Amino acid sequence: MVRNVHFKFLLVLLFVNASLFSQKFSKDFQWGTAIAEFQNSGAATLPDSNWARFQERIGLVSGKSVDHWNKYQEDIELMKEIGINSFRFSIDWSSIEPAQGMINESALQHYDNLCMALLAANITPMATLHHFVHPAWFDDLGGFERVENIQYFVRFAQTVFARFHDKIQLWCTINEPAVYAFAGHLIGIHSPGKIAVKDGFRVCGEVLKNLLIAHIEIYQVLKQMSGGDRAQIGIVHNVLKFQPRYWFEPIEASACAFLTPITNDATMNFLRTGEYLYEPFSTFCCKPLRIVYQDDRAPHSFDFIGLNYYATAVIGFNSDTIFGSAFFPGQIMGDMDLSLDPQGFATAIREVAALGKPIYITENGMADNSKKDDQRRQLLIMTSLEEVEKALQEGIDIRGYYYWTLVDNFEWHKGFDASFGLHDRERNKKPSADLYKNLIAEYSNRAF
């Protein structure tokens, strides 16, 4: 791991290099930040959600988190100070439909007020319809394990789109479907907390398939509604690949060959070809499990692709781990066992660019709990924007970059231990907020 003594030199060097590059950002590039409602408003605000139930079960307390629900105007002021012109947020299904078939008008009005406040501040809203969270009653029906339940999610999407299509033109249907299926139905660290016993691997594959079908159904329905022709509707995929620490170590290599098809390849192949192929044991001498589904609408079911990227996950044996999260010598590590990985980010951009659709970098960030000088986060922002610029120079159509996240919040199963924010939970500015502000200004001033 590179020690802090090297950071200042690296930061200065990278900043000088960035200023030498010719700028290719357009004037209408979306400089953003991203949040999820539950992470920022907590179970006390969203008591009817699956995550409110799950966090109680595993012994976490989110409370009101940073109370974005009531303090969104303060957060808009933070965005204005940085120069952010777009805000990605999730519209919480559990607040709008806390009981099956019951629509909460006050929750709809809340999001109406949020959108109007954003537009008044010249900040473009980008809404996500499902960011890991849905009503507890939906889980009681079997959630996305049952294909017949997709109709309830589509109905919610129609309700929201009918209300906000005149205020929101950028829509994300589902955030990270592979992560939702994998983390919640295979390794059990997210809601509903199921672990791969008995038919767990099959359930994970079915959930991922049903999420992708739900995305297509929502895209088709919303495009036919009033305002659908003006809306840009996409899906958000987290490019998450696994790499062995030692390529010659068979256990490490096998684990990576098993995980990457689940977390990345199945989704990417479906969006590219319309074929969903889930074969988690194809590289092992195990009882075969194969889920195949074909939907030729898939490659035509998104106007843009949202790319979330944090790092390539390294798996292997280390002195401080028995087996699991690892790192290569010399890597700069964040606080969630994920490294600074600009090359992996560059590769991910080109992988999703092959889908032939415009790209929004919908999440990119680093957990850095440093209280005074979050140098690792600053380095992440600088190197990431350099990679975005290089991709733009190659002609790749990138429309926006959304840093995750604006304010330190509830990081799912990690609770409040991981800090991704440009501001702390009291909304005090960190050095990375000023850096992002300066880079936005510099890139924007040189935009064509």
Closest CA to 348 of 281, 442, 267: 267
Q: Which pair of structure tokens corresponds to residue 371?
A: 């209280």
Q: Please give the chain's pLDDT, 448 residues, in tens.
A: 444 445 544 554 455 444 444 447 999 999 999 999 999 999 999 999 999 999 999 999 999 999 999 999 999 999 999 999 999 999 999 999 999 999 999 999 999 999 999 999 999 999 999 999 999 999 999 999 999 999 999 999 999 999 999 999 999 999 999 999 999 999 999 999 999 776 889 999 999 999 999 999 999 999 999 999 999 999 999 999 999 988 888 888 999 999 999 999 999 999 999 999 999 876 555 667 999 999 999 999 999 999 999 999 999 876 454 445 677 888 899 988 889 999 999 999 999 999 999 999 999 999 999 877 899 999 999 999 999 999 999 999 999 999 999 999 999 999 999 999 999 999 999 999 999 999 999 999 988 7
> Half-sphere exposure (CA, 13 Å, Cβ side) for 43?
18
CA distance to 113, 176, 197, 295, per residue, from 353 (Å) = 35, 17, 36, 21
Domain 26-241+259-274+297-445 has CATH 3.40.50.720: no
Q: Which residues contact 356 (CB under 8 A, 6 or more apart)?
A: none
Q: Which pair of structure tokens corresponds to residue 399?
A: 């429309």
Q: E-strand spans in 179-303?
A: 232-238, 242-244, 275-278, 291-294
- Type of residue at 208: L
Answer for the pair 317, 247: CB distance below 8 angstroms, yes or no: no
**pTM across the whole model:** 0.93
The pLDDT assigned to 93 comes to 99
Is residue 319 classed exposed, middle or buried when 0-12, 13-18 and 19+ CB atoms within 10 A define those classes? Answer: exposed
Task: Please state the domain extents for the chain.
Answer: 26-241+259-274+297-445
CA–CA gap between residue 193 and residue 53 (Å, rounded): 11
The pLDDT assigned to 251 comes to 87
